[in-house]
A and B are shown apart, each in its own frame.
Chain A
Amino acid sequence: MLWPSLIRSLFRRPLSEPAPSPAEATVTALAERLEAAAQVRLGRSLAIRHVDSGSCNGCELEVNALSGVVYDLERFGLRFVASPRHADVLLVTGPACHNMAEAMQRAFLCTPDPKWVVAVGDCALDGGVFRDSYAVAGGVDRVLPVDLVIPGCPPSPAMLLEGLLSLLAVQEEAGEDEVPGN
């Protein structure tokens, strides 16, 4: 029966936790990248497409947790979408496996500009423990231009959230600059 749960839910506090605040240095660095690339502002809501470039599946477990009630990504205007064609952000996990390189490039080309590429996890950073393999090019930046790295093996959902919120923070800053006197 769903009724007792529904009634209990009326009186219970939400399970979602308060948001972590993004690191100032990260936001500044991203703002510089934005300026350098003369990127158009994306707005305050970002659509994220996940791409696994050959991870061990550890990062996916933590990325999946973001959509759950505890981290509740959607309350910040961040949401996962099913196609790179709908995305503002490519969230890439895993080392850059040679067998995935073409699929990664195609996903990148399908994603409309302006866009961010976020590399998630130690493997995406530089290949991690698989760095020296014949099957791995290295980090995701060997295949795609990376804007933000969220390291960790795997990064916790809180760290992922913090990184993604810095993307929103920099959009807001850029927005303030765009409209003088506002």
Chain B
Amino acid sequence: MSGPATRLILSGTARTPFRRELEPAAWAGLPGALRQQPDLELLALWAEIGAVHAAFRPSGGGSLLLASTAAEGNYPALSPARPAASWFERAIADLWGLRAEGGVDGRPWLDHGRWGFAAPLSARPLAQASEPPQPEFLPAEGEGVHQIPVGPIHAGIIEPGHFRLHVQGEAIVRLEARLGYAHKGTLGLMRGRSPRSAARLAARLSGDSTVAHAWAFAQAAEAALGVAVPPRAALLRGLMAELERIGNHLSDWGSLCNDAAFAWPHARCGALREGVLRASEAAFGHRLLMDRVVPGGVSIDIAPSGVAAIREALALVAAEMPALRRVTEDHASLQDRLAGTGVLRPDWAAAFAAGGFVGRASGRDFDARRDLPYAPYDALPFTVPVLQAGDVEARLSIRLEELAQSLALVAALLERLEPGDTLVSLPVRSGEGLGVVEGFRGEVLCWMALGEDGLIRSAFLRDPSWLQWPLLEVAVEGNIVADFPLCNKSFNCSYSGVDL
């Protein structure tokens, strides 16, 4: 597992058991060392005032390793060695005003020139009064190439974002996603707040992954403060996370079939999902389970009648799954649209460390529940499906298999619920912590640093979509325009989750 990049990072000063601080000169050697050690995955890159942080993990296994360096004005870019760093570097320039020297893409991204000032998270944001600039898109050349602009307002009921498609005939030559429209300044709002208070913001980073983000955020806060969560709270968190996964997988299963003009599974999955959401409300008082996972435990215990409500709703899902699955897999008209569409090659998924069903459908055998184990999953049996095909069908198949696994996990979690505390109080002190939780899209990461007053000095939440959006751009190449909605839905990346 040791390689030149790992050795270089470990040679830095240990700031926490998991984070090393490198001298600027050592950081400058990082891109070269990373090129020599392709199996060290870049999971995230972010900044705070005066410093840049990166999270790595050896692809063969092992825990996360963070590298930092002091940065004023600029820092050596990692994107020449890890293309996935590019989106992060653009965000760091837009939010903290730190430039990635030698980065592969220097265009603004989250900053559309509409906030009134630049670098809002830096120590000295600069007033900016000029007209918002027109976005620049990467060019595509060839005979008859034309552009199709889509968004930021889409035809369906989805989040805002702009897609620029370069098209030759019916085939997509190049797709570029231009996001940032849903930038809410979440990271800025977190600063100076207590972890409990800021948890409401983490729960609203991406509404469909509210449990996952709130949990990773809580893990980071608990790690920073050295707090252990009561076993019953861990079981309830697992229960909520699996309910969230089941709801989202059902929803996207239906929507994917609907995008191929096959409406029946959409109607059925929608009805089943509604049952799951109602059971969630009966059990925890909220359909999407927002604000239920908080630092220190869970904010509400399961209602006594909730156990039966969940079992009943999931029994309906389990009973209907085989028929729904048969319909999905047997209909030639549907298979014609799904199979071979939007292929993501395994080497690309590996290069970008794609998490979740996107990575697992393209051979990346990683699930944080198994590979970076945390309670309650460290004591639960489940399998992680992996496929190599990397097409829309493979991503759907992975999700159907995960759905079955989650149904079993919920049953096991409900069996193990034992009476006990569900929430502990948090001390007020400084600290630094990291949280990793497997959400339905993939692993969700949260880093948090608390000041002496116990308030957040800086925090970063990394949705799995950071590493999946760029891969969507690759996967649609050569597909026909009509298949773009299918490809997009099969990835189902979060807009709000990366817009921050």
**Residue B482, interface by CB 8 Å:** no
**Residue B117, interface by CB 8 Å:** yes
Complex contact B327–A133 (CB within 8 A): no
B180's partner among A15, A60, A99, A129 (CB-CB below 8 A) is A99
Interface string of A144-156 (1 = CB under 8 A from B): 0000000001101
Q: How many pairs of A and B residues are in contact by the CB < 8 Å rule?
A: 148
Q: How far is the CA of A79 from the CA of B267 in the complex (A)?
A: 16
Complex contact A56–B181 (CB within 8 A): no
Complex contact B182–A129 (CB within 8 A): no
**Residue B494, interface by CB 8 Å:** yes
**Residue B301, interface by CB 8 Å:** no
Q: Which of A84-106 contact B (CB under 8 A)?
A: 84, 94-95, 97-103
A54's partner among B181, B189, B206 (CB-CB below 8 A) is B181
In the complex, which residues of chain A have a beta carbon less than 8 angstroms from the beta carbon of B25? none
Once A5-B323, A56-B204, A60-B157 are accepted as A-B contacts, the answer to whether A103 and B152 lie under 8 Å apart by CB is yes
Q: How far is the CA of A99 from the CA of B181 in the complex (A)?
A: 5
In the complex, which residues of chain A have a beta carbon less than 8 angstroms from the beta carbon of B115? 98, 134-135
**Residue A132, interface by CB 8 Å:** yes
In the complex, which residues of chain B have a beta carbon less than 8 angstroms from the beta carbon of A1? 326-327
The dominant DSSP class at the A interface is: mixed
Q: How far is the CA of A95 from the CA of B208 in the complex (A)?
A: 17
Q: Which of B102-145 contact A (CB under 8 A)?
A: 112, 114-117, 120, 125, 132
Closest residue of chain A to B114 (Cβ to Cβ) is: A98
Once A70-B271, A70-B274, A134-B117 are accepted as A-B contacts, the answer to whether A97 and B183 lie under 8 Å apart by CB is yes
Complex contact B207–A100 (CB within 8 A): no
Once A50-B157, A132-B189 are accepted as A-B contacts, the answer to whether A61 and B181 lie under 8 Å apart by CB is no
Q: How far is the CA of A98 from the CA of B274 in the complex (A)?
A: 33
Complex contact B206–A156 (CB within 8 A): no
6 more A-B residue pairs beyond the given contacts A2-B264, A57-B159, with a C-beta to C-beta distance below 8 A: A55-B182, A58-B290, A65-B273, A68-B273, A94-B182, A135-B120
Q: How far is the CA of A133 from the CA of B270 in the complex (A)?
A: 35
**Residue B158, interface by CB 8 Å:** yes
List the 3 shortest-distance A-B pairs measured between CB atoms, nearest first.
A58-B207, A133-B185, A68-B270
**Residue B478, interface by CB 8 Å:** no
In the complex, which residues of chain A have a beta carbon less than 8 angstroms from the beta carbon of B116? 98, 134
Q: How far is the CA of A129 from the CA of B207 in the complex (A)?
A: 13
14 example contacts (A-B, Cβ-Cβ < 8 A) are as follows A52-B160, A54-B496, A55-B496, A60-B157, A61-B207, A61-B288, A69-B271, A82-B156, A100-B182, A130-B184, A130-B189, A134-B116, A136-B184, A153-B290
B160's partner among A54, A128, A130 (CB-CB below 8 A) is A54
Interface string of B158-201 (1 = CB under 8 A from A): 11100000000000000000001111111011000000000011
Interface size in chain A (residues, C-beta < 8 A): 51
**Residue A62, interface by CB 8 Å:** yes
In the complex, which residues of chain B have a beta carbon less than 8 angstroms from the beta carbon of A83? 155
Once A52-B153, A58-B290, A103-B153 are accepted as A-B contacts, the answer to whether A133 and B207 lie under 8 Å apart by CB is no
**Residue B370, interface by CB 8 Å:** no
**Residue B287, interface by CB 8 Å:** yes
Indicate the member of A58, A82, A99, A132 with the most B CB atoms within 10 Å: A99
Q: A47: shortest Cβ distance to chain B, in Å?
A: 13
Complex contact B207–A59 (CB within 8 A): yes
Q: How far is the CA of A97 from the CA of B153 in the complex (A)?
A: 13
**Residue B495, interface by CB 8 Å:** yes
In the complex, which residues of chain A have a beta carbon less than 8 angstroms from the beta carbon of B270? 65, 67-70
In the complex, which residues of chain A have a beta carbon less than 8 angstroms from the beta carbon of B184? 54, 56, 95, 97, 130, 133, 135-136
In the complex, which residues of chain B have a beta carbon less than 8 angstroms from the beta carbon of A80? 157
Complex contact B185–A100 (CB within 8 A): no
Q: A159: shortest Cβ distance to chain B, in Å?
A: 11
Once A54-B183, A55-B182, A68-B267 are accepted as A-B contacts, the answer to whether A60 and B158 lie under 8 Å apart by CB is yes
**Residue A78, interface by CB 8 Å:** no
Closest residue of chain A to B200 (Cβ to Cβ) is: A129
Q: How far is the CA of A59 from the CA of B327 in the complex (A)?
A: 30
In the complex, which residues of chain B have a beta carbon less than 8 angstroms from the beta carbon of A98? 112, 114-116
Q: How far is the CA of A62 from the CA of B157 in the complex (A)?
A: 10
In the complex, which residues of chain B have a beta carbon less than 8 angstroms from the beta carbon of A82? 155-156
**Residue A161, interface by CB 8 Å:** no
Complex contact A154–B153 (CB within 8 A): no
In the complex, which residues of chain A have a beta carbon less than 8 angstroms from the beta carbon of B495? 57
Q: A79: shortest Cβ distance to chain B, in Å?
A: 12
Q: A104: shortest Cβ distance to chain B, in Å?
A: 8
**Residue A107, interface by CB 8 Å:** yes
**Residue B251, interface by CB 8 Å:** yes
Complex contact B157–A64 (CB within 8 A): yes
Complex contact A154–B114 (CB within 8 A): no
Indicate the member of B117, B158, B183, B207 with the most A CB atoms within 10 Å: B207
**Residue B205, interface by CB 8 Å:** yes
Once A63-B157, A68-B270 are accepted as A-B contacts, the answer to whether A58 and B208 lie under 8 Å apart by CB is yes
In the complex, which residues of chain B have a beta carbon less than 8 angstroms from the beta carbon of A154? 207, 288
Indicate the member of B186, B288, B327 with the most A CB atoms within 10 Å: B288
Q: How far is the CA of A104 from the CA of B131 in the complex (A)?
A: 18
**Residue B79, interface by CB 8 Å:** no
Q: A41: shortest Cβ distance to chain B, in Å?
A: 27
Q: How far is the CA of A153 from the CA of B210 in the complex (A)?
A: 12
Q: Which of B246-268 contact A (CB under 8 A)?
A: 251, 264, 267
**Residue A51, interface by CB 8 Å:** yes
In the complex, which residues of chain B have a beta carbon less than 8 angstroms from the beta carbon of A97? 181-184
Q: How far is the CA of A103 from the CA of B208 in the complex (A)?
A: 24
Q: How far is the CA of A68 from the CA of B275 in the complex (A)?
A: 12
Once A62-B287, A94-B182, A135-B183 are accepted as A-B contacts, the answer to whether A100 and B160 lie under 8 Å apart by CB is yes
Complex contact B155–A52 (CB within 8 A): no
